[in-house]
Amino acid sequence: MSVIDRFDLGRAQALRWLDELSGPEVAFTLYLKPGMARGEIETMLLQSLDRGETLDTLAEKAGGSPTGAAVFYLMGKGFVIWPPFPLGETVVCRGFLPGPLRSMLEKDWRLGLILVRLGRYAVAAFQGNKLLAGKAGTGLVHARHHKGGSSANRFARHRDKQMEYFFTRIEGHAKEVLGPYLGDIDYIIYGGTRDTLLKMWRQCAFFQALRPKMLNRLIPLREPRRSTFEDALGQAYSSAVYEVIE
């Protein structure tokens, strides 16, 4: 039975890990673009592995990544890396090929971060580690009213209005912060609670227009503040690594 361990690595940690992993004992490397079918992944793995539990586990973990995956296999051990940004090519080769992943991690991407929870937001534009522009703020949105009756209905309508105003404020600040850089931004990354973000996306045309550059992953920040920009950026560049041991 395969043993699976997961750990997350920041950009500098991931680059050091690649240095430590290098060596002739790495049997093969596989890079996969996002959205590849399970059957396609298995076919590529079969070029180097026999069918079995290890192959199944590597294919499952690689296929679950929203950004594609890098797979490195040593005798008896495999690693599946979910990179921070989408891989643009599919590669299968013998030996160790860290180049595509290393290039991604070393590049100073231009990112837009939009972090939202009800009552608090933060928006920033970054070039690598450099903050180009940023704004954070609050907005009054009451908690849900759980009792029934006409008063609850009035409260719900009032809360909806609060949310609408809150999202409109965020949209305005996002235009102010990100607008000057939109032509050069590589990716938009959101953080916060998915339900809140879905409501905001439905309401605001500006965020709908950003969808082509939106990454299909969320930064799990609890408190969007200006002081959390550095933490959010670190999470934006982080990679998830699955270690699979036969």
Is pTM beyond 0.95 here?
A: no
- Give the per-residue pLDDT at 104: 97
- Give the per-residue pLDDT at 151: 54
DSSP letters spanning the chain: --EEEEEEE-HHHHHHHHHHH-STTEEEEEEE-TT--HHHHHHHHTTTS-SSHHHHHHHHHHHT-BTBEEEEEETTEEEEEE-SS-----EEEES---HHHHHHHHS--EEEEEEEETTEEEEEEEETTEEEEEEEEE---PPPP---SHHHHHHHHHHHHHHHHHHHHHHHHHHHHHGGGTTT--EEEEEE-HHHHHHHHHH-HHHHHTGGGEEEEEE--SS--GGGHHHHHHHHT-EEEEEEE-
pLDDT per residue as tens digits for the range 65-112: 999 999 999 878 899 999 999 999 999 999 999 999 999 999 999 999
Task: Answer whether residue 125 shows pLDDT above 70.
Answer: yes
Residues 94 and 115 both lie in one domain? no
- Arithmetic mean of pLDDT, 50-79: 92
- Give the per-residue pLDDT at 138: 84
Domain-located, residue 141: yes
Domain-located, residue 159: yes
Share of the chain above pLDDT 70, in %: 90
pLDDT per residue as tens digits for the range 132-177: 999 999 865 545 555 554 555 565 565 678 878 889 999 999 999 9
Residues 95 and 118 both lie in one domain? no
Domain-located, residue 50: yes
Q: Which amino acid is at 126?
A: F
- Choose one of 48, 78, 107: the last residue of a domain: 107
Domain-located, residue 38: yes
Domain-located, residue 88: yes
Residues 224 and 173 both lie in one domain? yes
Count of other CB atoms within 10 angstroms of residue 37:
9
Residues 195 and 206 both lie in one domain? yes
- Give the per-residue pLDDT at 117: 86
- Give the per-residue pLDDT at 119: 81
Residues 133 and 227 both lie in one domain? yes
Residues 91 and 120 both lie in one domain? no
- Cβ(129)–Cβ(102) under 8 Å? no
Residues 121 and 225 both lie in one domain? yes
* Torsion angles phi and psi, residue 139, rounded to 5: -160, 145
- Choose one of 89, 107, 125: the last residue of a domain: 107
- Arithmetic mean of pLDDT, 24-42: 90
Domain-located, residue 177: yes
State the CATH number of the domain containing residue 125: 3.30.420.60
pLDDT per residue as tens digits for the range 190-239: 999 888 899 999 999 999 999 999 999 999 887 888 888 999 999 999 99
What the block records as the tokens of 137 is 């703020």
- Give the per-residue pLDDT at 142: 47
- Give the per-residue pLDDT at 163: 79
Residues 129 and 209 both lie in one domain? yes
State the CATH number of the domain containing residue 22: 3.30.960.10
Q: In terms of residue numbers, what domain contains 63?
A: 3-107
| Three-point CA angle 122, 124, 126, nearest 5° | 155
Residues 120 and 35 both lie in one domain? no
- Choose one of 55, 82, 107: the last residue of a domain: 107
Of 18, 24, 32, nearest to 92 by C-alpha is: 32
- Give the per-residue pLDDT at 187: 98
Residues 79 and 133 both lie in one domain? no
* Torsion angles phi and psi, residue 107, rounded to 5: -70, 140
- Arithmetic mean of pLDDT, 51-67: 92
Of 131, 129, 92, 100, nearest to 14 by C-alpha is: 100
* Torsion angles phi and psi, residue 232, rounded to 5: -65, -40
Residues 95 and 139 both lie in one domain? no
Residues 124 and 231 both lie in one domain? yes
CA distance 71 to 37: 16
What is the number of structural domains in the chain? 2
